[in-house]
Chain A
């Protein structure tokens, strides 16, 4: 007999028993011990049929293959850039992964492609067991993000910032006239009019604080419209 002990959308704490029996499958944020499934993180419980998932409410980003992220160029080497994507590991982006044309390294200065402080949109191709991380710019949407500035949000709140089928981010873009690019690591690039940028910042802060509550899109919309009319 399998049974679910806690209802969906409840807050669970590490080590809390979520379900008994082998009919349920543990997904991210959970683990199985004996016949039961327990939570690994402090987070929101999500149940899809028989797959159990816990979405952490906080925590540092851990990269995985296939993620589209936003990064900052921190240093330039002979043939690589070192990129900060908000994870604990050192990441290099090589010239061959970044530039389409042939680059003669004996003559070229690669800072003409990306310089220190530049913000780029990039894809994580692979993460090995020993956490060697490779990035590529040869992917749809991967490019240098010109101008603008960077905001940060907890990576686990990115789905909330985007919303169902992009409803939240679309609404924010429309109300603030800003261009926004969200990476799965929680780095957000924004560019646009100054008033719009400060509005985006307020909206992001609001989502960071209230990501676990329902009806958030409406409240953010209200806030953005309220400020505009003042």
Chain B
């Protein structure tokens, strides 16, 4: 078995950190950090829908905006939405949507902003983990917390949470997975690349196991916010 560039074990996630309530002006907010990747999420709402024709009389609509900050990547990213960020906004929205009781908030919208402060692979997963924390912090009714991690495959081995260095190895594939630990349901499974047929089961198994580790970090972050505040 080949060694990973940063000497991690195949099932070892980079050090994680999570904090809730980092943006004072937002209704709910959270920061999620895994290794050198840092994601911030802010939630506003439920508020009235503008333009009015977009409102749904049965449920809330989620508006998701994902973006990289210009300074988050080695070469400056032009600010503003592009093809990649628009797609990832949709991916993040679809990953967190199954966890929200949207029918409790008819005719409203929930705005979800996820921004990457520092990028080192796995930004969409960090963004989903942060987004779910921010939604919970905003007091929105939810079935479960969504945890997310990217599983990678290169040189015939399955590893979890690959970083930029591993991502750039020839033939490396990453498979982002989002998972609801209590309901045992996968809300996101993407595969952009090649993966041997037989390995898929192994990938999902490792993904689920790792998402549970992410969940523990998220759970502690949510509980810590209010335990610290009472003197």
Which chain A residues have a beta carbon within 8 Å of chain B's beta carbons? Answer: 11, 13-17, 29, 31, 38, 40-43, 56-60, 62, 88-90, 129-131, 156, 209-210, 212-214
In the bound complex, CA of A57 to CA of B229 (Å): 13
Contacts of B107 in A (CB 8 A): 88-89, 130-131
**Closest CB-CB distance, B222 to chain A, in whole Å?**
5
Residue of A nearest to B55 (CB): A88
In the bound complex, CA of A205 to CA of B84 (Å): 42
Whether B223 sits at the interface, judged by CB under 8 Å, is yes
Contacts of B106 in A (CB 8 A): 129-131
Most buried by B among A17, A57, A58, A60: A60
Contacts of A58 in B (CB 8 A): 27-28, 137-139
In the bound complex, CA of A11 to CA of B139 (Å): 13
Whether B219 sits at the interface, judged by CB under 8 Å, is yes
Establish whether residues B105 and A88, one from each chain, have CB atoms under 8 Å apart when the complex forms: yes
Q: Could you list 13 examples of A-B contacts with CB < 8 Å?
A: A11-B227, A40-B101, A42-B136, A43-B139, A59-B138, A60-B27, A60-B47, A62-B104, A62-B105, A89-B108, A130-B106, A212-B226, A212-B230
Establish whether residues B28 and A89, one from each chain, have CB atoms under 8 Å apart when the complex forms: no
In the bound complex, CA of A131 to CA of B60 (Å): 12
In the bound complex, CA of A213 to CA of B230 (Å): 6
Tally of contacts, chain A with chain B, CB under 8 A: 91
Which segment of B71-79, B87-95, B140-148, B194-202 sits at the interface?
B140-148
Establish whether residues B180 and A14, one from each chain, have CB atoms under 8 Å apart when the complex forms: no
**Closest CB-CB distance, B160 to chain A, in whole Å?**
23
Residue of B nearest to A42 (CB): B136
In the bound complex, CA of A88 to CA of B140 (Å): 14
**Closest CB-CB distance, A117 to chain B, in whole Å?**
20
In the bound complex, CA of A42 to CA of B48 (Å): 23
In the bound complex, CA of A15 to CA of B133 (Å): 12
Q: A60-B46, A130-B107 are in contact. Are A42 and B137 (CB under 8 A)?
A: yes
**Closest CB-CB distance, A7 to chain B, in whole Å?**
14
Contacts of B183 in A (CB 8 A): 15
In the bound complex, CA of A30 to CA of B77 (Å): 43
Contact of A88 among B46, B139, B182, B227 (CB under 8 A): B46
Q: A42-B222, A212-B226, A213-B230 are in contact. Are A59 and B182 (CB under 8 A)?
A: no
In the bound complex, CA of A89 to CA of B106 (Å): 10
Contacts of A43 in B (CB 8 A): 139
Establish whether residues B227 and A56, one from each chain, have CB atoms under 8 Å apart when the complex forms: no
Contacts of A60 in B (CB 8 A): 27, 45-47, 139
Establish whether residues B227 and A14, one from each chain, have CB atoms under 8 Å apart when the complex forms: no
Whether B57 sits at the interface, judged by CB under 8 Å, is yes
Contacts of A13 in B (CB 8 A): 136, 145, 219, 222-223
